[in-house]
Amino acid sequence: MPRVFKLGPYLVYFWTNEGLPPEPVHVHVTDGVPSKDDTKIWITSAGGAMVCHNKGDIPDHRLHEILDILGSQSLYIVGRWKDVFGDAKFYC
């Protein structure tokens, strides 16, 4: 489980088993121990971030802050994704 970074109490990470070929670039966000029910956020080809699902029940105001930060760090996230998975494709 590669850690991308921390945002206050939130851990932003990848699962290393993202299928073959890997799913489009995305991160998982949790404020606890990583689990399959964490919030999943797509990174877009335009450098933004959009919620796939919020199973982690991150409050809306915090989720919007996290989306803004992830969008501003999208180049870094895509670079880390390529380091781990070798290639990057996008949901949109």
pLDDT in tens, 32-82: 899 989 999 999 999 999 999 999 999 999 999 999 999 999 999 999 999
* Helix H or strand E encompassing 52: strand 49-53
Question: How many Cβ atoms sit within 10 Å of the Cβ of residue 22?
Answer: 19
Q: Is the pLDDT higher at 8 or at 18?
A: 8
Check residue 41 and report its DSSP letter: E
Q: Residue 1 — pLDDT band, cuts 50, 70, 90?
A: confident
Check residue 32 and report its DSSP letter: S
The answer to whether residue 18 scores a pLDDT higher than 80 is no
The answer to whether residue 21 scores a pLDDT higher than 90 is no
Strands of 10-13's sheet in order across = 3-7, 10-13, 26-30, 39-43, 49-53
